[in-house]
């Protein structure tokens, strides 16, 4: 007899994953005034979840505010921290955005660019669910680690 996991149990396992723990750590790091101290991990990461309904409420054209930009930085900082912990080399995220929300996100390890993403409509930055966000981060992480493994001399510079 096979039982399916309830969403709470699945979500509990997700909340204990290395990526989600790192995201919470990064969110707490940008909280200079302690506003997130009373929030749970799920509450803290809730702004990253942008369902279709929530996305419809956000105008198509808009400028990102500092809070949204901070969320983008948290996402790529968390991925960089995971790359660093996996390969032992310093990974540096670089985010360049215009005031209109267009730009680029890079992650470098040494002189090696392990991730290069074009960012568009940053004011609508989010994922359909936390598991989709984790999946996206896992894809980026695996490609980055493969690149570091393929080019260790460049990554070590």
Distance CA 141, CA 139 (A): 5
Look at the domain 7-155 and name its fold. Answer: Putative cytoplasmic protein (1.10.3100)
Which residues 6+ apart lie within 8 Å of 94 measured at CB?
Answer: 104, 105, 106, 107, 108
Question: pLDDT tens across 86-141, in order?
Answer: 999 999 999 999 999 999 999 999 999 999 999 999 999 999 999 999 999 999 99
The reported pLDDT for the residue numbered 10 is: 52
CA 129 to chain centre: 12
**Domains of the chain by residue range:** 7-155
What is the DSSP-derived secondary structure letter of residue 35? T
Structure tokens at 156: 């070590």
- 109 forms beta bridges with 91, 112
């Amino acid at each position: 007899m096979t039982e399916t996991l309830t969403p709470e149990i699945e979500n509990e396992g997700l909340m204990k994953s290395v990526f989600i723990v790192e995201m919470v750590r990064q969110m707490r790091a940008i909280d200079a005034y302690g506003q997130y101290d009373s929030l749970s991990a799920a509450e803290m990461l809730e702004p990253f979840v942008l369902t279709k309904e929530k996305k419809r409420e956000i105008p198509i054209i808009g400028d990102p505010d500092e809070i949204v930009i901070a969320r983008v930085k948290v996402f790529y900082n968390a991925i960089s921290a995971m790359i660093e912990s996996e390969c032992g080399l310093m990974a540096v995220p670089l985010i360049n955005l215009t005031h209109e929300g267009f730009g680029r996100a890079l992650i470098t390890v040494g002189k090696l660019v392990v991730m290069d993403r074009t960012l568009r409509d940053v004011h609508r930055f989010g994922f359909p669910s936390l598991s989709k966000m984790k999946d996206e981060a896992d894809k980026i992480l695996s490609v980055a680690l493969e690149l570091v493994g393929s080019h260790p001399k460049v990554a070590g510079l």
